[in-house]
Amino acid sequence: MKIKTAHGLVTTVATSLLIASCGGGGGGGGGGGPANQPPTARAGADQLLLAGTRATINGAASSDSDGTISRYRWQQLDGDSVALSASDSAAVNFDTQAITRDQTLRFQLTVTDDDGATATDSVAITVNAAVPVARAGSDRTVLAQSPLQLQGDASSDSGGSISRYSWVQQAGPAVIFSDTTSATPLVSLPSLSSDTELQFALTVEDSYGASDTDTVAITVNLAAPIADAGELQTVGERRSVFLAATASADNGGTISGYQWRQLSGPAVVLSGDDTVEARFVAPSVAGQVASPVALSFELTVTDNLGASDNDITHVSVTNTLIAPIADAGENITVDTTGADSDPVVVTLDGTSSSDPDGTIERYLWTQSGRSLAGIELTDTDQALATVTFSQELTEDVELFFSLAVTDDEDQSDLDTVKVTAMAPPPPVAEYAISGTIKIAPASQLDSDINDSSTTPIANSELLTAQLMPSPAIVGGYVNQPGNGEDGNSFAEGDLYDTYRVTLLAGQSVLLLIGNRSEADLDLWLYSSSGEVVDSSLSYSSNESVVAPADGEYFVEVEAWSGFSNYNLAIGLEQSLPSNGFRLSDAFIPQQLVAEPVAATARAASKLQAQMSALGVSALRGQDQRVQLLQLDDTRSLGGRRAAASRAINASPEQSAKLATLIAAKQLQQSAAVSYAHPNYLREAKAIPNDPRYAQQWHYPLIDLDLAWDITVDTHPTGARVAVIDTGSLPQHPDLLGQFVGGYDFISSAGSSGDGDGIDADPSDPGDGGDSSSSFHGAHVAGTVAAVSNNGLGVTGVAWKTDTKVVPLRVLGEFGGTTYDVVQAIRYAGGLSNDSGTTIAPVDVINLSLGGSGPCATSEQQAFDEVRAAGVLVAVAAGNDSSDAAGFSPANCEGIYTVSAVDATRALAWYSNYGETIELAAPGGDTSRDTDGDGYPDGVLSTLADDSSSMLDYQYTFYQGTSMATPHLAGVLALMKSVNPLLTPAHIDVLIASGAISEDIGTEGKDPQFGWGLINARKAVAAAFEVGGEPPPPLLSVSPRQINLGTSFSQAVLTARNAGSGALEVTDVLSSQDWLTVSAMADEAGLGQYTLTAERDGLAPGSYNATVTFNSSANQRMVEVNMLVVDSDFEPQVGPIYLLLVNDTTDEVVAGQRLSAVEGLYEYRFEEVPEGAYRLIAGSDFDNDQYICDAGEACGRYQTRSNPTVIAVAGGDLNDINFTVEYEVSIAAEAMAAEGSGVARTTTSISPAAVPSEE
């Protein structure tokens, strides 16, 4: 500051003089030190403060270049006096609370150094006693046509004055300000199409720079009021006239003012001309030239915003009298039932009568036409008259009543109303319905169901097991404590139902869960000594087990969680596949395959917690897709009585497998995973023999030589076949150049044979022994694509094209796992996988592997995804000479399962079979030499021998469905080569139509060969021809399976042409004498067929038959199942509830609880009115007050599948008999449908007149 510089100059001069004076007394010498330099005072920067705050001024920045500052002194120069905290400190404080006006306080600092020199400086503190207050005005509504002026002039500053205004718009269409710095600027509005809210902000600032902001919302209202003066009125002279503005409205505000004025006509005196309703007396028009005389009136309405609107109405005054209008009301219908004791009263209403120019003075009601006794008309001179019926009529009649009205000018009018009086309806005849309800013969009952009307008998232990016949269908109920409906077992639970049965080897026990959404039930099979034989465990799925040998067994149903009815089908002849996890399935103990849900942090945390609780850790895989998990211990067995006891009676391996299945169930119940299942073992299904060279008889068997003649490769990149197997032999002379890419997906280093986990090297290292996996994949690959015309070895099916093999290694020294197979399938389909690499989807996948058990969810999901990508999948049916439905992945959907034939085109002795078979192909039989060429009838292909130190490349005969499958894969590659646009949907149609196969079994699809033996020539030709041609004729028969159960003897089939063109059914054959077929079809054999079963003379057991339909196009077969039960066991389903239902209203009109006597329920309903009814009967095992739930017995008259309406008329109905039964399908794909039953509770439920069970 200039002032500080000036002070320093003065001080410096004074100090210099002082030093000179001291030196002057010395006598000429150069004595004395250097002159003292004065200090520098620094009082700090000027400040602006609000009154009430504590201020600090600080001189600590003062300095002395040649010494130190020894003293500070502050003093106030200007402004209201304040008290300094300490005037001799470098920094001092003071309060500004007492300052009530804006002002500047000035303070001076004097500093003194250690030589006594001084310096000064000053600082200004501006105190703002009060900040300004901005006031932008109140929120308000204005009309769009009104000028808009903002109102900020109420802003103030109590301690000073406002020096600046600033307006800005914050919301709404942009406006134009006249001056944004004015306290009250004008605003120009834009063109608006609707009511709009504008928002503005005002900021004010005082002379000291303090500011404040306020906002205002202004609604611009476009809607002016709408005046409505009413319609034209015609009145008589000297009548009072009312002008009403009540229909006027204002959508944007409220009407605040009304004004009426006369525009024309003889002058009248308006009364209430400033109100909503004005009045005047019509003038006399006698002697007027013209009559009527017109008067006009204008209405002006004004709203609260000042907007207004006008309307005009007219009044016509006449000297002609206007008659009133009579209105006798609407016609009336009345029922006179009960009038003899309680008269029926009808009101005649004339209140709607009116008079345009006056008032009605008199009413008169009269009856016209027919007059009857017991009818009285009263109050005839009132607007409301009364007609009283004091007795019932004997017939319906129409009565007419007239109303005459007279007004104040003695004018009148007449109207008539019709009253239709109804006689009581004739009495309704009432009859009885009675009959007998049978129980289906094989039906049996769990002895401790939840129905509270029964007395439970425990059957939860082996010692208390309930004896059951075989075959039988048991209905039962189990629940965890506190789960389900209140009843016998709600509180303590009914965790186990145990049954003692005798089974033959191969017979099945099937558990169908009634309420899969609320329960998880498991099925256990024990030997007669109580040892675990097998189990079927899952999460919300049906279960089945199979007896391995003849004997007595214990079958146990366990409620793992929740509550449910169930049906247990015992002693079925079919070996049914289980939808659950079977203990007898082949899988790696303590390993699981699971897929997490969407990879969120929360989901990952939930999965980790669940896995930790189960003792499970991740081995392989990533968070967002399928993972391989390791079960670290058997803690999942703890806390469950059944699991722990079963582990005691099981081998260590079974205990580990049991722990694995339970962990899979528990993990599957977690919301953290989409699915979880064991890591099933899959193995190559070839049966190798000694190697030797031979002819490839299996190619001419499927017309490959003819196919090669017509094959033209049009594939842009060459077809690619992924062989998911043991790996490749890339240096085999007959496979050189035939492998492209590939990957090793064996995740276990211990079984991989190459010492590591997954990697990019798919070559097969072999295992040096007789393991079934060694070089199996090379044999398969050679069948698909071995090099031809090279003077060496063998030929591949697809050699005529540029087909290549993508080797994907999943089978090691001890087979492979589901997890690794799934990774390879995903890789082949171009999907994300553990390799971290994705490729373009291959054309065909070959899976010559598998194992027992259900189709794993991870496998099915992978197949679904690769099929969607257009990939064709060929899978081996398996070599167990059993139903392929129990062999996976042959039992998966969306694939082509291949059975094997031998050189005679018969089903190979080892080949699996069943409904899952789509096609057959050569698999060979090395035990035979059918053609006498000196070589076994195996499939010859590429192999190697690693028993010595050198790898010896060979050609070897193998047999198996593994060998049959690459024949189909190779033919599919040929088809894709000639027509790359083929899709799985195309192939499906071609297979089902027989276009690519030779039907070598029973005509049509059969369990041995599917749709037939693959024919390469037909397949290549069909691939060329796929286009827009109409489909060929195709016979369809539905349903494909019939279950006659224990009591039904007939069923109906329908045959139709599902394609186009001519088709004729040539014959229909039954495979069993006890089943006959009768036709109700047209000349072509299309229509309905009735199946009739003869049960008499058949021994107890499960019976199966096949009905074969042969046609000019194809063949169809229908499987028929039936149970014949042991008559020594009386059928039982417990108490049932019988409901009589009105067929018109669906109302339950009566109900009974029935108990069986010697297997029969007798019933009788009395006093049933004539009408149409239905009868429904069923049990209520779960005690939910609904009958016929899934798992419960149910019946309808006449049958459950064909309910018949009962017509009650003219007499009692006797022998209305029907059957109650369990609705259980015993076909291979058996499922119990969930569903809601029928409410058993009615207002008329009562015990029937039969003995009670108690």
Q: What is the pLDDT of residues 274-308, one digit of tens each?
A: 999 999 998 987 766 566 889 999 999 998 877 88
**Measured CA angle at 718 (ends 716, 719), to 5 deg:** 120
Range(s) within the chain of domains with CATH label 2.60.40.10: 47-128, 132-221, 233-318, 332-422
- Helix and strand numbers (H, E) in the chain are 12, 74
Domain 233-318 in CATH: superfamily? Immunoglobulins (2.60.40.10)
> Is pLDDT of 712 > 70?
no
pLDDT at res. 957: 78
* Residue 1035 structure tokens: 């016979």
CB 805 within 8 A of CB 937: no
Angle value at C-alpha 1040, between 1037 and 1043, nearest 5 degrees:
130
Name which of 664, 686, 553, 742 is nearest 966 in CA terms. 686
Domain boundaries for CATH 2.60.120.380 within the chain: 439-591+598-617+654-680
β pairing state of 887-888 and 849-852? antiparallel
Rounded to the nearest angstrom, the gap between the alpha carbon of residue 11 and the centroid of all alpha carbons in its chain is: 92
Burial of residue 365, with CB atoms counted within 10 A of its CB: 0-12 exposed, 13-18 middle, 19 or more buried? buried
- Partner residues linked to 475 by β-bridges: 445, 567
Q: What pLDDT score does 598 carry? A: 62
> According to the model, what pLDDT value does residue 15 have?
29
Q: How far apart are CA 759 and CA 768, in angstroms?
A: 21
- Please say if 776 is a catalytic residue: yes
Look at the block and give the residue holding tokens 């994907």. Answer: 808
Q: Please say whether the beta carbons of 295 and 212 come within 8 A.
A: no
Tokens of 823: 């990774």
Q: Is the distance from CB of 512 to CB of 573 less than 8 angstroms?
A: no
Distance between CA 923 and CA 910 in Å, rounded? 10
The predicted structure's pLDDT at residue 288: 63
- The per-residue pLDDT for 833 is 95
Dihedral over alpha carbons 315, 316, 322, 328 (to 10 degrees): -40
Catalytic residue among 677, 698, 732, 776: 776
CATH (residue range 132-221): 2.60.40.10
Is the distance from CB of 591 to CB of 630 less than 8 angstroms? yes
Largest CA distance in the chain: 166
Which SS3 state, helix, strand or coil, does residue 1140 take?
Answer: strand
Name the pTM for this structure: 0.48
Closest among 887, 928, 894, 888 to 908, alpha carbons compared: 928
Question: Strands 743-744 and 804-809: what pairing?
Answer: parallel
Active site residue 962: yes
Domain 693-1025 has CATH 3.40.50.10300: no
Least Cα distance to 514 among 491, 493, 486, 484 occurs for 484
Contact 982, 976 (CB under 8 A): yes
Residue 621 has pLDDT above 90, yes or no: no
Residues 6+ apart with CB under 8 A from 1025: none
Is 439-591+598-617+654-680 a domain of CATH 3.30.70.141?
A: no
Q: For residue 136, how many C-alpha atoms fall within 13 Å in the half-sphere facing its CB?
A: 21
For the stretch 747-777, pLDDT in tens is 877 776 777 888 999 988 876 554 434 689 9
Per-residue confidence at 711, pLDDT binned at 50, 70, 90? confident
Closest CA to 1154 of 1177, 1185, 1171, 1181: 1177
- What beta strand segments (E) does 319-429 contain? 332-335, 344-349, 360-368, 375-378, 384-389, 397-407, 412-422
Percent of the chain with pLDDT over 70: 86
Three-state SS for 974?
A: helix
User: Which range is most confident: 122-136, 277-291, 836-850?
Assistant: 836-850
Angle between helices 652-668 and 601-614 (to 10 degrees): 150
**Is 7 among the residues known to form the active site?**
no
Angle at 1063 between CA 1060 and CA 1067, to 5 degrees: 150
Q: Are 682 and 818 in contact (CB under 8 A)?
A: yes
Catalytic residue among 962, 1047, 1111, 1179: 962
Strand partners, 582: 536
Q: Which of 329, 368, 367, 354 is nearest to 411 (CA)?
A: 354
DSSP at 878: -
- Banded model confidence at residue 137, pLDDT cuts 50, 70, 90: very high
- Identify the residue whose tokens are 């345009």: 356
Nearest C-alpha neighbor of 1210 from the set 247, 432, 314: 432
Annotated catalytic residue, options 497, 725, 744, 925: 725
Q: In angstroms, rounded to a whole number, what is the distance separating the alpha carbons of residues 786 and 678? A: 36
Taking 3-state DSSP, the helix, strand and coil percentages for the chain, each rounded to the nearest 5, stand at 10, 40, 50
CB 476 within 8 A of CB 497: yes
Residue 16 pLDDT level (bands cut at 50, 70, 90):
very low
Mean pLDDT, residues 810-828: 91
Spatial distance between the Cα atoms of 677 and 628, rounded to a whole number of angstroms:
10
Top-confidence range, 44-48, 940-944, 1149-1153: 1149-1153
Q: Encoding tokens for residue 647?
A: 């582990």
Classify each residue of 627-652 as buried b or exposed e, where b means 16 or more C-beta atoms within 10 Å of its C-beta: bbbbbeebebbeeeebbeebbeebee
Other beta carbons within 10 Å of 840: 10
Integer distance in angstroms from the first to the last C-alpha of the chain? 115
Q: What strand order describes the sheet that includes 375-378?
A: 344-349, 384-389, 375-378
CA distance 840 to 1104: 47
Report residue 250 as tokens. Answer: 């204002």
Question: Which tokens belong to 1219?
Answer: 């059957």
**Top-level class of domain 332-422:** mainly beta
What was the pLDDT predicted at 298? 96
Single-letter amino acid code for the residue at 1097: G
Q: Cα 957 to the chain's mean position, in Å?
A: 52
442, 473 in Cβ contact below 8 A? yes
- What CA–CA distance (Å, rounded) separates 267 from 275? 19
Q: Which amino acid is at 839?
A: I
> Is the confidence at residue 199, as pLDDT, over 90?
yes
Overall average pLDDT of the 478-505 stretch = 94
* Cβ neighbours of 1157 (radius 10 Å): 11
Q: CATH says 47-128 is which class?
A: mainly beta
Measure the CA–CA gap between 922 and 636, rounded to whole angstroms: 46
Q: How far from chain centre, in Å, is Cα 1205? A: 38
Q: Average of pLDDT values for 1010-1014? A: 96
pLDDT (tens digit per residue) in 1219-1234: 898 876 433 233 333 4
